[in-house]
Amino acid sequence: MIPQGASGIGAWLPIMEMIAIVCIPVNAGIIYFAGDGTFYFNGTSSLEKFLVDLNEGQWTQRNILILVVLVEHALLII
């Protein structure tokens, strides 16, 4: 048999693109809810604790969620 080159990856390209698009919101949700996997007081994630420690008045639960959604949308656009 003589090996022949392919012009592309065929049907795998749309599948890989779909997986890449689905992974971004899933990973953003994991970072939002778990951070690095360690939970502190009242079940807050390490991300929330880190941001609140930076500036306690600015980082509310709602603002952290907005930040995560904006970063997720920026990654999808890129």
Name the residue ranges covered by the structural domains of the chain.
Answer: 12-77
Model confidence pLDDT, tens digit, residues 20-77 = 999 999 988 888 877 666 656 566 777 888 888 888 888 888 888 899 999 999 988 9
| Whether the predicted pLDDT of 4 surpasses 70 | yes
Residue 15: what pLDDT?
95
Residue 70: what pLDDT?
93
Residue 22: what pLDDT?
93
pTM confidence score: 0.69
Reduced to 3 states (helix: H, G, I; strand: E, B; else coil), residue 16 is helix
Q: What token pair was written down for 57? A: 């008045």
Q: Which stretches within 7-60 are classed as H helix? A: 12-34, 46-54
